[in-house]
C-alpha cells in the first residue's frame, strides 16, 4: 500500500532529522538545527500524505487503532513544534522533540499494516472526535515536558555560570516557559473536550458515561494532574523552573502509570 510506503518514508526522515538535531548540539551550530527543522517539515508533509491515503483506504478518519493513534500523536507533536517556531526562537528544542517523535513512530510501525477497517461501533463521528481531541491534548503535554526538560538544562547551566557555545545555542528561558504555558493552556481544554466526547459515546454504546475502565482511570488522572498544573500557572502564578519541573514530573509519572496499566490491566479501549 502507498500509505505504508509514505509512513515508512516519513519515519526515515524523522530519524535523519533527529540525527541532524543531535549533530547541531555536537557542533554547536544553529545552521545545522535549521536544516533539521526543514527535514522535520518534509517528514510532516509526507506523514500528512500517509494519513490522507489511509483515510481514503479505510473510508473513515484514520485515528482508530494503535498504529493510527500513535502516528497521529507524533504528527501533532511535529506540527505543534513547527508552528511554535513561528513565535519563538527555540529551534534547538527539536533536539529533544525529534527523538520522542521517532520513538513513537517506531512503536507505531510495529502495528503498521494491520486491519484497515473498523467495527461498526467505532465508525461514529464521536469516536473520531474523542480520539483526535484526546491525543492532541496528550501530544501537547509531551511537547510541554520536552520544553520543561530543556528549561531545566538551560537553567542549570546558567546557575553554574557555564560559558561557551552550547549555552548560547540553547533557547532562552522565556521562550521555553512560553512554550510550556501554550501547550498546557491548549492541551488541557482539548483533552477535556475529548473526555466529554468519549463519555457521550460511552453513554450511547454502553449505557453509562463511566465504566471504571483502566484507560478511563488513567485519562482522569491525566486530566486532574494537568488541570492542577494549569490552575497553579493561572491562579497561583507558577512559572519558570517550578512549572518546568512539575510538567516533567507529571508527564513521566503518567508514562509510568500507562506502562503499568498496559502490563497488568485489561481495557475496553482496544481501539487506541
Strands (E), 122-233: none
H or E element in which residue 264 lies: helix 240-264
Same domain, 101 and 236: no
Residue 142: predicted pLDDT: 94
Cell of 34: 535549521
* Site of grid cell 533536539: 95
Burial status of residue 212 (CB atoms within 10 A of its CB: 0-12, 13-18, 19 or more): exposed
Same domain, 137 and 267: yes
Same domain, 243 and 123: yes
Q: Which of 116, 133, 152 is the last residue of a domain?
A: 116
Same domain, 64 and 126: no
The residue among 121, 14, 6 whose CA lies nearest residue 57 is 6
CA pair distance 190, 67, nearest whole angstrom? 21
Residue 148: predicted pLDDT: 92
Residue 172: predicted pLDDT: 83
Residue 271: predicted pLDDT: 54
Same domain, 151 and 258: yes
Find the length of the chain.
272
Same domain, 48 and 71: yes
Domain count, the chain: 2
Same domain, 176 and 100: no
H or E element in which residue 174 lies: helix 173-206
Task: List per-block mean pLDDT (blocks of 10 residues) for the chain, which spans 272 residues.
Answer: 85 95 83 89 95 77 78 95 87 90 91 56 74 92 93 84 66 89 94 90 72 76 90 88 91 84 63 54
Residue 265: predicted pLDDT: 58
The residue among 144, 179, 178, 171 whose CA lies nearest residue 155 is 171
Same domain, 31 and 106: yes
Same domain, 84 and 143: no
Range of the domain at 220: 119-272
Q: Which of 116, 144, 174 is the last residue of a domain?
A: 116
Same domain, 254 and 164: yes
Q: What is the DSSP string of 201-234?
A: HHHHHHSSS----HHHHHHHHHHHHHHHHHHIII
CA pair distance 113, 130, nearest whole angstrom? 23
Cell of 26: 555536537
Amino acid at each position: 500500500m502507498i500509505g505504508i510506503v509514505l509512513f515508512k518514508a516519513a519515519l526515515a526522515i524523522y530519524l535523519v532529522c533527529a540525527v541532524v538535531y543531535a549533530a547541531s548540539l555536537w557542533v554547536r551550530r544553529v545552521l545545522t538545527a535549521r536544516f533539521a527543522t526543514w527535514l522535520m517539515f518534509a517528514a510532516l508533509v509526507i506523514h500528512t500524505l500517509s494519513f490522507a491515503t489511509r483515510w481514503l483506504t479505510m473510508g473513515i478518519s484514520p485515528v482508530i487503532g494503535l498504529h493510527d493513534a500513535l502516528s497521529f500523536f507524533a504528527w501533532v507533536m511535529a506540527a505543534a513544534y513547527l508552528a511554535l517556531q513561528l513565535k519563538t526562537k527555540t529551534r534547538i528544542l527539536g533536539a529533544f522533540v525529534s527523538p520522542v517523535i521517532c520513538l513513537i513512530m517506531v512503536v507505531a510501525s510495529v502495528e503498521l499494516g494491520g486491519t484497515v477497517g473498523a467495527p461498526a461501533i467505532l465508525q461514529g463521528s464521536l469516536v473520531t472526535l474523542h480520539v483526535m481531541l484526546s491525543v492532541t491534548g496528550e501530544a501537547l503535554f509531551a511537547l510541554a515536558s520536552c520544553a520543561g526538560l530543556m528549561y531545566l538544562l538551560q537553567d542549570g547551566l546558567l546557575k553554574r555560570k557555564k560559558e561557551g557555545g552550547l549555552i548560547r545555542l540553547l533557547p532562552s528561558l522565556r521562550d521555553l516557559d512560553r512554550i510550556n504555558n501554550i501547550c498546557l493552556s491548549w492541551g488541557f481544554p482539548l483533552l477535556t473536550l475529548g473526555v466529554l466526547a468519549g463519555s457521550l459515546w460511552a453513554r450511547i454504546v454502553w449505557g453509562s458515561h463511566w465504566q471504571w475502565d483502566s484507560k478511563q482511570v488513567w485519562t482522569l488522572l491525566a486530566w486532574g494532574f494537568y488541570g492542577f498544573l494549569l490552575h497553579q500557572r493561572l491562579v497561583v502564578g507558577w512559572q519558570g523552573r517550578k512549572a518546568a519541573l512539575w510538567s516533567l514530573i507529571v508527564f513521566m509519572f503518567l508514562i509510568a502509570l500507562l506502562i503499568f496499566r498496559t502490563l497488568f490491566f485489561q481495557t475496553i479501549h482496544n481501539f487506541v
